Chains A and B, each alone.
Chain A
């Protein structure tokens, strides 16, 4: 149980952003992304403004730019989709470098790229400044159903155990000369997946019995019922509020 509890995205730190209560941060991130999504795509300056806001948060949280940029790679599959849009969309066409591209498709691609990137960057900042356990506590304080929070916390807690078992099965297969080359090996891999399911399910049963024997009756005790002060909410909501300002400018000043 020692290692692997801090997830891969989290960066240890004690910056003002790290110290904010998790539910304020989650709410602020969500509101910020919502504002970004509602910003009109023609307002280039507004998106620059959003990016500057996120950059400020990153500097405050002492998250290095390289780390942030590397994490943005997660959206690469959708970039592929966005690149295709100018070719398939209908409407007015323009010539760019000898290619006939749709104007609305170009707008669509720009829209997805900029909003998607800002959204990913905001989520990455949230996850890199908030510990896993705190994130779950935050979700609970934002009134996510307790059972869902419990399921999520069990998933997080046992994610490394289950992937560890999967890794050991892979090593066992490979040490017996197994090599994955194509579809013919699927049956072996699927048997591993089946074994992994049985092991996970049985572990779940044992965990439940262990919990029952310690007095579990369907709810988890709330140990720290910390509340956020008004000042902390104000600090967290500075980001979406500023973004809302930028967004309104985008609507009013075309």
Chain B
């Protein structure tokens, strides 16, 4: 759900714009620490991936389908800072190129869909990975929970902005309930897709899953027992 112009009043739009700009600035510095001069090409390619993955439709039933939002997935795969940058750039480009999401609502969109989603998802993911046993299954489980919670959290953040600067007087309790209810359902889909995707990457390239880097067993040097013949051949 990309918020269009006119949904949130001007003062709150400006305030969230400041929050979003500060968040992106912090993410830029953090990402430079994570990737140094590889930031631009890698984050750019991952942003292109998030953009493409959002076009991948997952059929639900009877002709309906959902798609990935990608905040939690990006955070787990490339790390929180780069994840924030990727999702923010995707949102920016969608607003500027495709008019999807208003220009003045960009602050709201980046704050709830990039900042809140990534922070909640990554925090929860790391917490779970640290407490669960160090196996591949727990990485998958942790990404499921992280993605599941991140979507209603983002919806809740949006409801908060709406309560502050909404342009219509609606009963906030009802709205919050409805938003969280609907987004728990969306979150279930997001969680399943995120967990399956992270599982697929962990199975092939565990070193590329940023959030689970410390689970990768370090390469060990094994010396074949003497007289095996494999090394002596070269000599």
Contact assessment for B204 and A198 in the assembled complex, using a CB-CB cutoff below 8 Å: yes
A154 proximal to B (CB < 8 A): yes
Residues of B within 8 A of A207 (CB): 41, 45
Contact assessment for A118 and B44 in the assembled complex, using a CB-CB cutoff below 8 Å: no
Contact assessment for B169 and A91 in the assembled complex, using a CB-CB cutoff below 8 Å: yes
Contact assessment for B51 and A155 in the assembled complex, using a CB-CB cutoff below 8 Å: yes
What 0/1 pattern do residues 2 to 43 of B give for CB contact below 8 A with A?
011111011001000000000011001001100011111111
- Given A147-B28, A147-B40, A201-B46, verify A33-B103 contact (CB < 8 Å): yes
Residue among A7, A88, A201 making CB contact with B171, cutoff 8 Å:
A88
| Segment of A13-21, A104-112, A229-237 in the binding face | A104-112
Contact assessment for A198 and B208 in the assembled complex, using a CB-CB cutoff below 8 Å: yes
The residue of chain B having its C-beta at the shortest distance from the C-beta of A138 within the complex is B96
The residue of chain A having its C-beta at the shortest distance from the C-beta of B5 within the complex is A119
For chain B, the count of residues having a C-beta within 8 Å of the partner chain is 76
- Given A150-B40, A190-B193, A193-B193, verify A181-B59 contact (CB < 8 Å): yes
Contact assessment for A34 and B10 in the assembled complex, using a CB-CB cutoff below 8 Å: yes
Contact assessment for A158 and B44 in the assembled complex, using a CB-CB cutoff below 8 Å: yes
The residue of chain B having its C-beta at the shortest distance from the C-beta of A193 within the complex is B197
**Bound complex: CA A179 to CA B24 (Å):** 40
Contact assessment for B10 and A37 in the assembled complex, using a CB-CB cutoff below 8 Å: yes
Contact assessment for B85 and A148 in the assembled complex, using a CB-CB cutoff below 8 Å: yes
Contact assessment for B28 and A148 in the assembled complex, using a CB-CB cutoff below 8 Å: yes
B184 proximal to A (CB < 8 A): no
- Please report whether the interface of chain B is mostly helix, strand, loop or mixed according to DSSP: helix
Chain B min CB distance to A151 (Å): 5
Residues of B within 8 A of A139 (CB): 96
Residue among B44, B104, B169 making CB contact with A119, cutoff 8 Å:
B104
Residues of B within 8 A of A58 (CB): none
* Number of inter-chain CB pairs below 8 Å: 264
B135 proximal to A (CB < 8 A): no
B148 proximal to A (CB < 8 A): no
**Bound complex: CA A115 to CA B193 (Å):** 35
B55 proximal to A (CB < 8 A): yes
Query: Interface centre among A37, A120, A203, by most B CB within 10 Å?
Result: A37
Residues of A within 8 A of B24 (CB): 145, 148
The residue of chain A having its C-beta at the shortest distance from the C-beta of B43 within the complex is A151
**Bound complex: CA A33 to CA B227 (Å):** 78
Contact assessment for B170 and A105 in the assembled complex, using a CB-CB cutoff below 8 Å: yes
What 0/1 pattern do residues 62 to 88 of B give for CB contact below 8 A with A?
000000100000000110000001101
Contact assessment for B96 and A135 in the assembled complex, using a CB-CB cutoff below 8 Å: yes
Residues of A within 8 A of B78 (CB): 201
What 0/1 pattern do residues 181 to 209 of B give for CB contact below 8 A with A?
00000000000110011111100110010
State the B residues within 8 Å of A (CB): 1, 3-7, 9-10, 13, 24-25, 28, 31-32, 36-49, 51-53, 55-61, 68, 77-78, 85-86, 88-90, 92-93, 95-100, 102-105, 167-171, 174-175, 192-193, 196-201, 204-205, 208
- Jot down 19 A-B pairs with beta carbons below 8 A, ordered by A: A33-B103, A37-B9, A74-B99, A109-B168, A116-B102, A126-B96, A147-B31, A148-B28, A153-B44, A154-B44, A155-B45, A158-B44, A159-B48, A163-B52, A180-B59, A182-B59, A194-B198, A197-B197, A198-B204
